[in-house]
Amino acid sequence: MAASRLPPATLTLKQFIRRQQVLLLYRRILQTIRQVPNDSDRKYLKDWAREEFKRNKSATEEASPTTEAQDLKEANGIVTTTGVRSILVREFSLDGL
């Protein structure tokens, strides 16, 4: 068997696609947060989003039934965060405040 010509740190196709999905999600969240009229709320939400993404930076969750359900919600424009609140990407709303 021939050795791979790719560097050892190269992402698989599945990992690359998941990374692109996460980056798109982050951008959409930030775009939605920019629509918040109150400056202090906007800063709080931006800091919260940044910290959540940093906290989960090393997550390596592979596709599971739960992840697949989440992907369907994201495809419909609804992004949910577990336990805290829901953010609707097309319109801004926070549940549980």
pLDDT at 81 over 60: no
The H or E element spanning position 7 is none
**Strand, helix or coil for residue 87:** strand
Residue 52 CB burial class (10 angstroms; 0-12, 13-18, ≥19): middle
Each residue of 22-70: pLDDT tens digit? 999 999 999 999 999 999 999 999 999 999 999 988 887 655 556 666 6
pLDDT score, position 56: 86
For the chain, what are the domain ranges? 11-55
Give, as one character, the DSSP assignment of residue 49. Answer: H
- Taking phi over 0 as left and psi of -120 to 50 as alpha, with beta for the rest, 96 belongs to left
Would the pTM count as exceeding 0.85?
no
CA dihedral 53→47→32→89, nearest 10 degrees, is 40
